[in-house]
Amino acid sequence: MPAYKTQKLAAPLVVVAVLLFFIQLIFGGIAALYYISPNALSGIINFNLARAYHLNGLLFWLFSATFAAVIYVLPVLSGREIAYPGLVKAVIALLLITVIGGFLSLPLMQSGSNIWGFGQPLLYEGKEYVELGRIWDILVLLAFALFSIVVLKTLPPMREWPLALWALVFGAAIAFVLYVPGNIFFKHVPTSEYFRWWTVHYWVEGALEVAYAGAFGLLLMVLIPRPELKRVVDKYIFYDVVLAATSGILGQGHHYFWIGTPTFWILVGGVFSALEILPLTLMAFEALKIAKKANIKFENIPSMYFMVGILLFGVVGVALQGLVITWPWTNWWEHGTWVTMLHAHECMMAFAMGAISLIYFATPGLADKPIDRTFTIWGKRAFTLIATGQIIMATSFGLAGLPQIFNFWVLGKPWSVVLDIRAKFMPGVLVGASLVFVGFLYYAASILRHMFFPVRGEKYEPEKAPPTFMNTLRGMPILIVLALVFAMIGTAGLWSFFSDHVLVAKDPTIPYTVTSIGFIGLAVLLELMLVKFTRALEYGYYDL
Amino acid sequence: MYVRLFLSAMAIGFLIAIIAFVITARRREEASPEEVPYKKLGKAMIIASILFVAIATPLSIDVVEPRNPLPDQVTYNGYTAAEGFKVAIDYNCMGCHTIVGNGAYYAPDLGYIARRAWDPEAIRSLLRTFAGTKHMPFNLTDEEIDKLTAWMLYLRDLNTNRWPPMSPKEVVFAQQAQQGALAEGKQLYEKYCASCHGLDGSGAVPGTPNFRDKAWWETALSTTGWEGLVNVVLEGKNGMPPFKSVLSPEQARTVLEYAKSFSEAGVKGEAKIVGGYSFEPSFEENLDIWYESKGAWVVYWLFTTLFAAALLYAFFYWYARG
């Protein structure tokens, strides 16, 4: 029952987002296969091609989901139909052309047959995260530009925007503008990498911290139109934007330690990226407080679950796992190893959960069908499986990175030794990945069922749950502090690679043990907090 | 020394923030709950951080006083590193290897490989060996391999603050050719050649070439070649006396390598240090670049400390008011 006709335009994008998520997972699996059986697909789908699909599948399903969410929410926010629905269709078409054309050109990298024009690679570009060639980048930007015309035309005049909307539009705009520098080809490697991080890092800062904060604020204000809530949200957004923008801009220096850029980044980037945990912790505490104030019963439980997921993956995966590896003296060891993948996979999961949450939020309305029992239960299962699987997988990567550091950096053993040792951790990766995949199936099934199949609408009745420790928010602040302690343990562990035990006596026991305690502790705490937080909100136990 | 800079900035920033927080306690209590807090400070912080990046960007991308070799300057067999980077983009090396630590972790870091192999011919032969195998299932033409060799030489020489960590054993391997040879070369050069070619290689008597000139070496190596040059040293040429009575052909080559190092940016007759287990020495190594000098460090430290104070103050403020 969408209140506005044009909200329906979002439907095809939701389906595209589900499909691209599928592609992402399949190619993630193929990349993993290389670590078990290196020659199986070599020459057919090379590792770098699989990885390019894995990354770009992710990026484009996030784009699709975000566009879908904006199309869905825009009329509600503005209180009128979307301006230029024809243009919206053009944007969707452009996005599809980009995905299809871009993805079809990627295999050319296997034979190196690119086309260069204006000093730029036109079909594809061999830089991680920004693999698409200039032609496709231009189409993406065109889509963004047309879409922003639609958005600005539909929204009420800027004077009337709440702060949350400012944050959303501003964050999104920054993320799109900074899409440009990272994509240009510079022949100097430090320059190329310097600007590539503008794009990749600011997606996190601009999109995750600023735009998502704004999006939540708006969602809350739409869900609970109470003036005192608006005040809380406004204030929290202001803090968030100031802290995220400043620590984010300077904190991106943690990408500039070893890429040929000046030494001052080691100080500035180190200090401010360590302080980057402030905005995210703040977000967590604010969310707790807002939840307590709002005290509502959620109707769309899957959407709420994934929203909690962003928050906690944000605090633990982005902020704390980021903190562990951001100190120059820990980064020195882990940079360029599988330890980085721990943070990367949890980070991206925070994004992904945001997009999934938005899709769950929009689907019942788009399909014009009520939220029912199956939708809710499948959604909850999807959440549990995806979150748990991702934590197991990411942690396995992190643990496997430790012997990589020791054997390759410290002992200087041949690369084949690294591959062999990391292969021992592949069972963990595969168990995690399989859980994520089953979770994805539940997610896709629940969305597609709603879109394409009849839904009778049996109501979901949560069972009566007693207010036990696992069902309430009790002890959350302590758990967050405990997580900080484990992050410090992880930091100490990586730092201890500098000790003489390791470098002189060649005994890696200390860093292995201490860092593992840090990583596993963080993983367990993350899982625990996810369960507590989601259940508490579902059952309505808001007290701390 | 670096950790001290870091921790002191954090600690003093924290202290300033606490003091500011205590001093402003009264004002905070009197403010109305409607007031959006520290609006001015927040705006100033955003502006300051953008300004910092605006200033740091040109310094970071080597447009003022480069700290790295530039891709058009590093060549191999007539091809530049810039051309090599294009080939690397075309085959997406970064989707399997890391470059300066970024990229995929399926294969080792390319800068690390280059530093370990060190010698251009060794790098070239690695590329020849691996291209077209199951590891790297694509064929590279000779031209592409030469271009990539130039690019990997350039990666080798990037000033990455000594990352990646490299075990002393590897450092020694990498430097043996270089350092050992250079030390021997230096000794021989100063004994036999400096009188005519100058201690710094720029030439002391008329007719001698300028060994500091990159272009001279490029032409000499592509026309006369290493063997030809060794021959000149052994047999002599015009005003240049023969040295075959005192130098073996290997020693002649060693002296010539040393003479060539005069033409290499940032090296000037000394072995380059790569890797090791610490990034600390890079602070000293870069002191002669003005934006990494001691004076500049005072500025960075002050900026970091004050900004950290502002950020923490904002955080406390939120905590007290929020």
Higher-pLDDT residue of B218, A256: A256
CA distance B231 to chain A (A): 38
Across chain B, mean pLDDT equals 86
Confidence of residue A231 (pLDDT cuts 50, 70, 90): confident
- In whole angstroms, what is the distance from residue A291 CA to residue A73 CA? 21
Tell me the CA distances in angstroms from A336 to A170, A522, B105, B109, B249, one per residue in order: 32, 22, 7, 7, 42
Confidence of residue B264 (pLDDT cuts 50, 70, 90): low
Give the contacts of B301 (CB within 8 A, at least 6 positions apart): A267, B5, B8, B9
Spatial contact of A5 and A365, defined as CB atoms under 8 Å apart: no
- In whole angstroms, what is the distance from residue A5 CA to residue A88 CA? 13
Q: To 10 degrees, what angle do helices A47-78 and A11-33 make? A: 160
Higher-pLDDT residue of A280, A186: A186
Higher-pLDDT residue of A389, B238: A389
* pLDDT at A215 (0 to 100): 77
Q: Is residue A107 part of a domain?
A: yes
Q: Computed from CA positions of residues A521, A522, A525, A526, in that sequence, does the dihedral angle turn out positive or negative?
A: negative
Q: Computed from CA positions of residues B309, B313, B314, B319, in that sequence, does the dihedral angle turn out positive or negative?
A: positive
- In whole angstroms, what is the distance from residue B164 CA to residue A391 CA? 28
Retrieve residue A385's tokens.
């499986």
Q: Is residue A263 part of a domain?
A: no
Radius of gyration (C-alpha) of chain B in whole angstroms: 27
Q: Is residue A114 part of a domain?
A: yes
User: How many C-beta atoms lie closer than 10 Å to residue A113's C-beta?
Assistant: 13
- Does B46 lie at the interface with A, CB-CB under 8 angstroms? yes
pLDDT exceeds cutoff 90 at A217: no
Spatial contact of A369 and A448, defined as CB atoms under 8 Å apart: no
* pLDDT at B225 (0 to 100): 76
**Of the ranges A218-232, A239-253, A405-419, B257-271, the best mean pLDDT one:** A405-419
Q: Computed from CA positions of residues B113, B116, B120, B124, in that sequence, does the dihedral angle turn out positive or negative?
A: negative
* pLDDT at A206 (0 to 100): 66
CA distance B63 to chain A (A): 10
- As a whole-number percent, the residues of chain B with pLDDT over 70 amount to 89
Retrieve residue A195's tokens.
């600007």
* pLDDT at A322 (0 to 100): 92
Q: Quick check: B105 and A239 CB within 8 A?
A: no
* pLDDT at B185 (0 to 100): 84
Across chain A, mean pLDDT equals 89
What's the rounded mean pLDDT across residues A520-527?
97
- Does B141 lie at the interface with A, CB-CB under 8 angstroms? no
CA distance A285 to chain B (A): 10
Q: Quick check: B314 and A242 CB within 8 A?
A: yes
Radius of gyration (C-alpha) of chain A in whole angstroms: 23
- Minimal Cα distance from A55: which residue of B? B95
* pLDDT at B128 (0 to 100): 94
Q: How many contacts (CB atoms, under 8 Å) link A and B?
A: 272
Phi-psi region of B92 (alpha: psi -120 to 50; beta: other; left: phi over 0): left
* pLDDT at B36 (0 to 100): 58
**Residues in chain B within 8 Å Cβ distance of A412:** 166-167, 169-170
pLDDT exceeds cutoff 80 at A394: yes
* pLDDT at A161 (0 to 100): 83
Do you know the residue count of chain A?
Answer: 544
Higher-pLDDT residue of B119, A444: A444
Compare CB distances from A258 to B101, B144, B311 and report the shortest one's residue.
Answer: B101
What's the rounded mean pLDDT across residues A442-457?
92
Picking from A37-46, A443-452, B251-260, B263-272, which range would have the lowest pLDDT averaged per residue? B263-272
- As a whole-number percent, the residues of chain A with pLDDT over 70 amount to 98
CA distance A127 to chain B (A): 6
- Minimal Cα distance from B40: which residue of A? A242
* pLDDT at B74 (0 to 100): 84
* pLDDT at B275 (0 to 100): 67
CA distance B262 to chain A (A): 23
Confidence of residue A275 (pLDDT cuts 50, 70, 90): confident
Closest Cα partner for B81 from B265, B276, B267? Answer: B265
- Chain centroid to CA A103: 21
Q: To 10 degrees, what angle do helices B294-321 and A227-251 make? A: 170
Instruction: Identify the residue among A188, A323, A503 best suited for mutation to test binding to B, counting B beta carbons within 10 A and taking the highest.
Output: A188
Compare CB distances from B170 to A109, A266, A412 and report the shortest one's residue.
Answer: A412
CA distance A513 to chain B (A): 21
What CATH number does the domain located at B68-160 have? Answer: 1.10.760.10
Confidence of residue B270 (pLDDT cuts 50, 70, 90): low
Picking from A107-116, B78-87, B93-102, B159-168, which range would have the lowest pLDDT averaged per residue? B159-168
Retrieve residue A179's tokens.
């899409």
User: pLDDT tens digits, residue range B275-307?
Assistant: 688 888 888 888 888 999 999 999 999 999 999
Spatial contact of A16 and A59, defined as CB atoms under 8 Å apart: no
Retrieve residue A482's tokens.
């405990």
**Residues in chain A within 8 Å Cβ distance of B134:** 38-39, 42-43
* pLDDT at B272 (0 to 100): 60
- Does B73 lie at the interface with A, CB-CB under 8 angstroms? no
What letters, b where the CB count within 10 A reaches 16 and e where it falls short, cover B246-272?
ebeeebbbbbbbbbbbbbbeeeebebb
Retrieve residue B271's tokens.
């072995």
What's the rounded mean pLDDT across residues B118-124?
86
Phi (first) and psi of residue A143, to 5 degrees: -60, -45
Confidence of residue A430 (pLDDT cuts 50, 70, 90): very high
Q: Quick check: A187 and B71 CB within 8 A?
A: yes
Q: Is residue A531 part of a domain?
A: no
User: How many C-beta atoms lie closer than 10 Å to residue A157's C-beta?
Assistant: 7
Structural domain boundaries, residue A1? 1-160
Q: What is the 3-state secondary structure (H, E, C) of A163-194?
A: HHHHHHHHHHHHHHHCHHHHHCCCCCHHHHHH
Q: Is residue A165 part of a domain?
A: no
What's the rounded mean pLDDT across residues A119-142?
92
- Chain centroid to CA A32: 20
* pLDDT at B274 (0 to 100): 64
Spatial contact of A65 and A92, defined as CB atoms under 8 Å apart: no
Q: Quick check: A264 and B300 CB within 8 A?
A: yes
Which sequence spans correspond to the domains of chain B? 2-64+294-321, 68-160, 166-275
What's the rounded mean pLDDT across residues A27-39?
93
- In whole angstroms, what is the distance from residue A481 CA to residue A243 CA? 20
Maximum Cα–Cα distance across chain A: 71
User: pLDDT tens digits, residue range B185-224?
Assistant: 888 998 999 999 988 888 888 889 998 887 788 788 778 8
pLDDT exceeds cutoff 70 at A362: yes
A137-141 long-range contacts (CB < 8 A, ≥24 apart) are: A137/A179, A137/A183, A139/A94, A139/A97, A139/A98, A139/A101, A140/A63, A140/A94, A140/A95, A140/A98, A140/A179, A141/A176, A141/A179, A141/A180
* pLDDT at A171 (0 to 100): 77
* pLDDT at A218 (0 to 100): 78
User: pLDDT tens digits, residue range B23-48?
Assistant: 888 777 777 666 655 678 888 888 99
Torsion, CA A329, CA A333, CA A336, CA A341, rounded to 10: -90
Q: Is residue A18 part of a domain?
A: yes
Q: To 10 degrees, what angle do helices B294-321 and B39-60 make? A: 150
CATH fold of the domain at B166-275: Cytochrome Bc1 Complex; Chain D, domain 2 (1.10.760)
Alpha helix segments (H runs only) across chain B: 2-23, 25-30, 39-60, 81-91, 110-117, 120-130, 142-157, 168-175, 181-188, 194-197, 214-223, 225-235, 249-261, 281-285, 294-321
Q: Is residue A69 part of a domain?
A: yes
Picking from A20-29, A89-98, A371-380, B62-71, which range would have the lowest pLDDT averaged per residue? B62-71
What's the rounded mean pLDDT across residues A317-328?
93
* pLDDT at B30 (0 to 100): 75
Q: Is residue A354 part of a domain?
A: no
- Can you tell me which residue has the tokens 């197991």? A392
Single-letter code of the amino acid located at A346: E
* pLDDT at B271 (0 to 100): 54
**Structural domain count, chain A:** 1
Query: Under DSSP, is residue B185 helix (H, G, I), strand (E, B) or coil?
Result: helix
Q: Whole-angstrom distance between the N-terminal and C-terminal Cα of chain B?
A: 38
User: pLDDT tens digits, residue range A197-208?
Assistant: 988 887 766 666
pLDDT exceeds cutoff 60 at A464: yes
Higher-pLDDT residue of A55, B74: A55
Spatial contact of B150 and B84, defined as CB atoms under 8 Å apart: yes
* pLDDT at A157 (0 to 100): 84
Confidence of residue A374 (pLDDT cuts 50, 70, 90): very high
User: How many C-beta atoms lie closer than 10 Å to residue B204's C-beta?
Assistant: 14
- In whole angstroms, what is the distance from residue A283 CA to residue A209 CA? 9
- In whole angstroms, what is the distance from residue A487 CA to residue A281 CA? 13
pLDDT exceeds cutoff 80 at A426: yes
